[in-house]
Chain A
Amino acid sequence: MFAALYAPSLPVAALVDVARAFTPRFEQLGPIILLDASGLSRLFGSAQELGEHLRDALSKLSPGDSLPRVAIASTQTAATLLALGSPGLTVVMPGKEAIALAPLSISVLDHFEKLSDSAPQAPQAPQAPEHGGWHHPRSTHQASRGKRRAPENRVLEILTKWGIRSLGALTELSGPAIHERLGERGALWQSLARGVDSRPMVPWVDEIPFEAALELEWPIEGLEPLSFVLARLLEPLAERLERADRGAAVLYTSLRLTSRTVFTRTLQLPAPMRDPKTLRTLILLDLESHPPDAPIDIVRVYIEPTPAKVLQWTLLERAQPAVEQVSTLIARLSALMGEGHVGSPVLVDTWKPGAFEMSDFRSQIADQSVHRRSAIDHQSEICHLRSALRRFRFPVPARVVVNEGRPVRVQIDRQGFSSGAILEAAGPWRTSGNWWETPGPRMKSEQKTEAWDRDEWDVAMTDGTVYRLVVEREAGQWFLEGVID
């Protein structure tokens, strides 16, 4: 049993308050509030009595104004259509939906379709904090429905041309014929005209912001006392997350300092998590790398929730580490080595030698089906491997003697590198790229060019070391780029 409330003269928030007084299960469809009235008969009596209670509650809010519309039916579609099309209170007995809907104008279907297409909005959407760096919470499951642009009302136009003016007339048409001429949408309109639901009800769930703040009596300095404050804030938040089956996706820490400034840090978590100890450790490690410059007056933590991740584990493969474990490790390593120094390398689509980017390291669940072993020659007595290149991130300058266009001697001034005569050299392999990005007269100095134009040589020294040398063609400068090892 469903009840639909519609009062054009009242704000939607007032309708929500009325609905909330009757049941926690309700859904907003534009200006209409749809209540799940199942089980309310024990509290409010029959469907007729429930409808009267609802009508009275709405009338108190808008005395003397136009009468609010209340419709009760066994399907949500019928209740909504009746609320749109019939004034006053309408109660339909189960099985009589099509009869009750028959006199309604065909245009209510167009109205209904627009309501269904529009995503429901939160009656009281939680507001993000006003401080800098705080954002509106990411939409939860309520926003997972995509917004679609309402299609042009071609079906209504055709039905009007056919002389179909009421829902009853539409239901009398042949279903296959409607489908043949108007497609899926036509068939859907016909089923709606009979009061058949096309989707289940999605009750609104109140989203109270996952936020906690603590104003300190005395300003605190250092991370150790802050750790206790964070524990006090995060533990209740983690409990709430667990009750709501949510995990933290983004963690905002806002510290109001004694210098009257607000210091905000944002942590994007690699996976939803809600362990308070892990969250506290991550915040502390981040603040260790980016400490505030004054004592702290107010600590505020805000969590952006997301549905918790469900993982299917297997007994047949090696256990994977927990997400919390990996996140803590990465945070600790980043605090130790610096940002951008920890992660997984990703190749980039370029011919530039040694080009790569850093990405977040994520420990993934192994998929046994894609594992492969390289072809192993079990009879071979020789170990065949692929050569590694030890690349110098800052190429080492070298002095090279060239004879007949080929390097014959290399001198490297730094310790630990072999210098002397070159036994044999292979090259040159000329590469160039991004030359079109060469800085012009109008290019700003901070716009760094990544153009390269160079010759590569692989040279073998007398002690067996194999170097990769490069010569920058424009400057004529030689560099030691790496060691083949």
Chain B
Amino acid sequence: MAVRAAVEALLRERKLDRTLTSTLPERLGEDAVSPLDSAALDRGLAGGLPRGQVSEVVGPASSGRTSVAWAALAAATRRGESVALIDTFDRFDPPTAHACGMDLSKLLWVRGQAVSKTSVAIDPAWLPGVRAVNGPGTFIERVIDRAIKSLNLVVSSGVCTLVVIDLIDLPATALRRLPASTWFRVERAIEGSDTAVLILAAQPVARSSGGRSLVMGADQRVTWKGDHDRTRRVSGVRSRATVNAARWSHGQTVDTETTLVNAV
């Protein structure tokens, strides 16, 4: 304990005490978080996504990870805030997002390359002058590089209060190749600001010391409506999410249920 106290004293002396767990309150104030307008999830997140921190939502396909990110974006736009989505592979569907309650006029949508994981097809609308790519690895790296650069531009501008970067369809190998300094740079850019960054990925990527990790469970269950084959349809997906944070000894468990809405 004496050693810890001495280290903390030294950090405070050099004004590097922001990373100390003892300097931050256990519960964040209402203005210090970006709530998702979902009581159960906000309780699990201790109010919402902390501003000035990098959080992440991870999980397998159809576990509700994208729904959580969209809920955060929709809640922020309802409060009148400008939000940004760095859509690495152009997977965002505006009609469905609108049906989910998102105010699209307050969304800055940065569309990446519309391409599937192993395809090397280039969108004709892509920026002219792009260097020819020889293999999928190089091409993927280029797409990631642009997404990360976009993220840095958006967070450093301070224009949006919630920035979501979608890395779900990124191959795990490409994700691992990203240097750790990538996320430190983002953390540094938003430190002390009103901006919350949310990483959307299939597996854990990064989280700042004050951020939250929302891990969606792999045991999701599809719920159905209707008895007859012709009238039966998908109602939604039930899943269980675990919220982790650096200062929590145990993760908070939240049951989630998504409902399929008609986008038309």
Residues of A that sit less than 8 Å from B by CB: 289, 317-318, 320-321, 325-326, 328-330, 332-333, 336-347, 351, 353-356, 358, 361-364, 366-368, 370-374, 376-394, 396, 406, 414-416, 418, 423-424, 426-427, 458, 460, 463-466, 482-485
Tell me which residues across on chain A come within 8 A of B10, comparing CB atoms. Answer: none
User: Which 5 A-B residue pairs are closest in the complex by CB-CB distance?
Assistant: A366-B80, A338-B127, A393-B114, A345-B94, A388-B66
Contact of B171 among A317, A387, A416, A460 (CB under 8 A): A416
Instruction: Verify A483–B62 contact, CB threshold 8 A.
Output: yes
Contact of A382 among B117, B125, B234, B257 (CB under 8 A): B257
Residues of B that sit less than 8 Å from A by CB: 37-41, 44, 60-71, 75, 78-82, 90-101, 104-112, 114-119, 121, 123, 125-128, 146, 149-150, 153-154, 157-159, 161, 168-169, 171, 194, 218-222, 224, 226, 229, 232-234, 236-237, 241, 254-261, 263-264
Tell me which residues across on chain A come within 8 A of B99, comparing CB atoms. Answer: 386
Chain B residue at smallest Cβ distance from A381:
B40
The complex places the Cα of A347 from the Cα of B105 at a distance, in Å, of 10
Instruction: Verify A356–B100 contact, CB threshold 8 A.
Output: no
Instruction: Verify B63–A485 contact, CB threshold 8 A.
Output: yes
Contact of A424 among B109, B161, B222 (CB under 8 A): B222
Contact of A385 among B64, B80, B126 (CB under 8 A): B64
Chain A residue at smallest Cβ distance from B84:
A361
Given A380-B40, A484-B234, A414 and B117 contact (CB-CB distance below 8 Å): yes
Given A343-B109, A464-B220, A388 and B100 contact (CB-CB distance below 8 Å): yes
Instruction: Verify B110–A341 contact, CB threshold 8 A.
Output: yes
Given A346-B104, A485-B66, A318 and B157 contact (CB-CB distance below 8 Å): no
Chain A residue at smallest Cβ distance from B238:
A382
Contact of B106 among A364, A380, A388, A466 (CB under 8 A): A364
The complex places the Cα of A406 from the Cα of B228 at a distance, in Å, of 13
Instruction: Verify B259–A361 contact, CB threshold 8 A.
Output: no
Tell me which residues across on chain A come within 8 A of B171, comparing CB atoms. Answer: 415-416
Instruction: Give the Cβ gap from A191 to chain B, nearest Cβ, in Å.
Output: 48
Chain B residue at smallest Cβ distance from A366:
B80
Tell me which residues across on chain B come within 8 A of A463, comparing CB atoms. Answer: 60-61
Instruction: Verify B118–A332 contact, CB threshold 8 A.
Output: no
Tell me which residues across on chain A come within 8 A of B261, comparing CB atoms. Answer: 386-387
Chain A residue at smallest Cβ distance from B68:
A385
Tell me which residues across on chain A come within 8 A of B37, comparing CB atoms. Answer: 373-374, 376
The complex places the Cα of A427 from the Cα of B230 at a distance, in Å, of 7
Tell me which residues across on chain B come within 8 A of A336, comparing CB atoms. Answer: 127, 146, 149-150, 153
Tell me which residues across on chain A come within 8 A of B121, comparing CB atoms. Answer: 394
Chain B residue at smallest Cβ distance from A482:
B93
Instruction: Verify A345–B112 contact, CB threshold 8 A.
Output: no
Tell me which residues across on chain A come within 8 A of B234, comparing CB atoms. Answer: 426, 458, 460, 466, 484
Chain A residue at smallest Cβ distance from B168:
A390
Instruction: Give the Cβ gap from B214 to chain A, nearest Cβ, in Å.
Output: 10
Tell me which residues across on chain B come within 8 A of A367, comparing CB atoms. Answer: 80
Instruction: Give the Cβ gap from B143 to chain A, nearest Cβ, in Å.
Output: 10
Contact of B38 among A318, A325, A383 (CB under 8 A): A383
The complex places the Cα of A351 from the Cα of B264 at a distance, in Å, of 7
Instruction: Verify A384–B78 contact, CB threshold 8 A.
Output: no
Given A343-B109, A383-B256, A388-B70, A396 and B159 contact (CB-CB distance below 8 Å): no
Instruction: Verify A318–B161 contact, CB threshold 8 A.
Output: yes
